[in-house]
Chain A
């Protein structure tokens, strides 16, 4: 059973059962802290009844005009905590904040196509493949270089669903900056 709460810097000492998973990147310290110092309400942790971290989600808001959106930077769940609906709960946390606090048009995320379990999960949560991003993920000896799927879900503010009309051609990384 999980408690979903804000992520704290002190949690970084106990993320190993999550981050040792091969799909989860361990970023430099500044990356985590900068998310905490800019969007503390979009960086949440799931903690087990026994007090261990089960997963976390880092997010941010960015873009101008109708591109104002919530972005899932990282969503990861420890292997032993999968199939519990935890990722769904963490996503809801970000979607709620994107909608109610930040009044965004949509939420988007990038995922490795090879991470089929994750892609399937996002689809069930209502995300569609908006576009592919060429060589977004660089190989690091453990994981290969790969395209990214840029997946999106429209929020109520995007009444016409303009943000989720899929693009026909892949784009370069430079086109993904807001």
Chain B
């Protein structure tokens, strides 16, 4: 920044000598833009562009383009180039710059016009493709009413003409043509473009994706025989799952086509079986061919055919087990076959007119098959890594079958977990860091979590402490697993979740940081922890993390347009729709909104310590967080929920461990709306706009009413608090007589979250409450208190009467907090560990996981100590974070 200031001085010096020095003016505009003086920069830019021929000067042009790019004003960038073009009509680079600026900023109409202009002026093959791609993306991505069909028709004509004129010279051109045709559903024409007689035939043959696309098109156009031949030919040369799938689809299509001709149907199946057998005997190809046989059996069931048995195609159930028997020692086996178990149970019931008895019969069949195998693989698990892996796969199938059966008996879920733990934590395999051992620990924890949340539903059991004790026990198992094999990130992800369920931010954060999560992962994995520090009193760490997220999105704002430009320059056009979709997903990312709102809240909390906070609130950009329903409807949820290695389909909510272990607050659209409205309400207090403040308050109330359970009790409490603050502020401005009553209500709500003086040194039995509510409640009222202090500063600034009374009430609250929170801090520091030992470890109260707890206590003391320390230290850090805030947030 110092260099920029120096540059500005230099520009001023030059301008003093020569006030007409246009380059110096342009450079000054850029320096001012970099220094944040946008208005002055824009004013200079406007002034320069009014001077004839100014943009024809390359130095001036370059500086102005930099300025407008920095200010994210692509329209002005194009205006600079347009001004230059009038004086430099033969400069090709100006034409292309206009095109690339429009293209990289998704100004589709301008992009198309620029493509036409550059093509008309310079007639190069590449510019023809720029027009075609412009029309394609305009049709696909332009918001609002457009004329997509016309644009696609034009694009098709141009691309087909290019094909006729032999201007389709590489696979990227061909891919663009295919994209245009696909957008119109013109499969016949696509197939023709991929014809084996085309001049591009060799290039198509060398491009595996195009080979597959051709087979897909043959299937889509019901040319099943040709599709079978093409797929078979491809599969003779390579082992690619999508080709197998298309092959089977073509086979099923051919059988359907031959309805009424059983001989023809048998022939198709016979050929298929022979080929599958041939491929399964080829070295390294068995897995694909066998899975294709399962796929064939599945599709035969769905199609309702009664063919194939005599040719060796077994029932789907039998075929699944053939596959499992062959590949049970591969880690991927379960992932490959899971969908077929689900399909088998669900589809069979569906095709039998939703007869649930069919599902039960099939589940019984699979359970019987499993029980015949599982005992043996368990006994052999120690013998080799392959055997261990086989056991892991069988246990995963066991888990799935239980879930599909809807088993709600917690005891059945923990049955056998002791064996898992012996193997995963205590065996020689475990000491050797064998992958299957870690898998077994994870599987044990998944079962324990499932059982725990079935036995102790969160809302009902919080206060009885069983849920917390169970979670604590599972954490001990996870920590031991992590100690033995720190490379298993799934164990860490589950541990993060469970620590947060116990309000332990610090340990969860350490584990999160150890995963080295960055860049795009802020968008996909940030949900694991962003906002949790805020909810647990660790405001500064949460602010840092929110900033990390926000800065990633800022970087993407620059990076993606740059790469869109590169794709056009390099002629890799097929990337462009993908890049645009990706950009849209990031620009309208759900997690982006969450990170931004968390950053805003944390900033307000941070700045709430200073009386200058009112000035900051006055300048809050309320425009950018004014979210309408249509904006919220456009949000993309890029969060990666599958990363937790779930063993059941995502739609089985009762078995979805990601959902079961979600800590509060759960971020939802309502959450985003609430925390967009809240800073707006604070802004209107700062500027003393009561009408707007009332409107925001009403919106907050209606959002909470709409949200139902999708907002946590703490978030609802914060909204309640801000509504009381708004009422107080309104009273101070208009009706001071009822202000005392409102202040009392606010004090009451904040007071409920400050630990009681008498119980500030909680007895061990209180431990059931602390991990769930004490810290979260305290953090929530700390936030409310901060907003109240901000409102008080705003009232004082506007010299509102009775603001001193408001201040006095807050001062009394602060005094109480400063007496009680240190007690919580001291307890976390000195007594938390012994309280954990008394309540969660050395207790005789029986619970579901008593045996596991006993096992951990006797055999895995180190892990137990880690969790005890992790919990106590985390609570201490939360207490310290909150206390520091109350200390510094003076009136």
Contacts and interface: CB of A to CB of B under 8 A. Distances in A.
A127 B449 CA distance: 46
Contacts of A89: 239
Interface in A14-31: 14-17, 19-22, 26-30
A82 B206 contact: no
A96 B517 CA distance: 33
A30 B563 contact: yes
B206 A36 contact: no
A176 interface: no
Contact of B519 (A26, A49, A54): A26
Given A8-B578, A33-B579, A142-B514, A50 B335 contact: yes
**Chain B interface: which size bin?**
35 or more
Contact of B240 (A4, A15, A52, A80): A4
Nearest to B172: A40
Nearest to B175: A40
A61 to B, nearest CB: 13
B339 A28 contact: no
A4 B519 contact: no
B174 to A, nearest CB: 12
A140 B515 CA distance: 12
Interface string B133-176: 00000000000000000000000000000000000000110000
A145 interface: no
B559 A30 contact: yes
B518 A26 contact: yes
Interface string B328-368: 00111001101100000000000000000000000000000
A16 B524 contact: yes
A67 interface: no
A49 B241 contact: yes
Interface string B622-645: 000000000000000010101101
Interface string B549-584: 000100110011011001100101011001101100
Contacts of A171: none
A13 interface: yes
Interface string B494-530: 0000000000000000000011111111011100000
Contacts of A140: 516
A101 B566 CA distance: 21
Interface residues of A, number: 53
Interface stretch (B25-33, B284-292, B771-779, B860-868): B284-292
Contacts, number: 155
A15 B570 CA distance: 26
B209 interface: yes
A93 interface: yes
Contacts of B521: 16, 19, 26
A14 B208 contact: no
Given A37-B575, A50-B338, A100-B206, A13 B523 contact: yes
Contact of B643 (A20, A34, A47, A80): A20
B244 interface: yes
B563 A84 contact: no
Nearest to B329: A83
A114 interface: no
A48 B516 contact: no
Contacts of B796: none
B547 interface: no
A79 to B, nearest CB: 7
Nearest to A39: B572
Contacts of B209: 5-6
A20 B640 CA distance: 12
Interface core residue of B171, B516, B638 (most chain A CB under 10 Å)? B516
A126 interface: no
A19 B172 CA distance: 29
Contacts of A10: 578, 581-582, 585
A93 B208 contact: yes
Chain B interface helix/strand/loop/mixed: helix
A33 B559 contact: yes
Contact of B575 (A1, A3, A36, A85): A36
Nearest to B576: A37
A83 B559 contact: no
A1 B287 contact: yes
B154 to A, nearest CB: 25
A27 B487 contact: no
B241 A12 contact: no
A142 B581 CA distance: 33
Contacts of B567: 36-37
Interface string A66-92: 000000000000011111110001000
A13 to B, nearest CB: 5
A160 interface: no
Contacts of A150: none
Contact of A13 (B240, B284, B524, B563): B524
Nearest to B487: A22
A2 interface: yes
B331 A83 contact: yes
B650 to A, nearest CB: 11
A4 B638 CA distance: 23
B487 A50 contact: no
A56 to B, nearest CB: 13
B242 A5 contact: yes
Interface core residue of A2, A47, A54, A81 (most chain B CB under 10 Å)? A2
B212 interface: yes
A159 interface: no
B572 A37 contact: yes
Contact of B566 (A1, A38, A54): A38
A141 interface: yes
Contacts of B581: 9-10
A30 B555 CA distance: 9
B857 to A, nearest CB: 31
B516 A29 contact: no
B640 A3 contact: no
B563 to A, nearest CB: 4
Nearest to B289: A1
A41 interface: yes
A16 B516 CA distance: 11
Interface core residue of A5, A30, A37, A38 (most chain B CB under 10 Å)? A37
A3 B570 contact: no
Contacts of A38: 566, 570, 572
B207 interface: yes
B770 interface: no
A84 B332 CA distance: 8
A52 B578 contact: no
Given A9-B579, A48-B335, A84 B330 contact: yes
B273 interface: no
B489 interface: yes
B183 interface: no
A2 B288 CA distance: 8
Nearest first, the 7 closest Cβ-Cβ pairs linking A and B are A9-B582, A33-B563, A20-B489, A3-B242, A37-B566, A37-B567, A1-B241
13 contacts: A5-B209, A10-B578, A10-B581, A13-B638, A14-B642, A16-B521, A16-B643, A22-B487, A26-B518, A36-B567, A37-B579, A41-B171, A49-B336
Given A13-B523, A19-B521, A36-B578, 7 more contacts: A3-B241, A3-B243, A9-B575, A26-B521, A37-B572, A80-B332, A85-B284
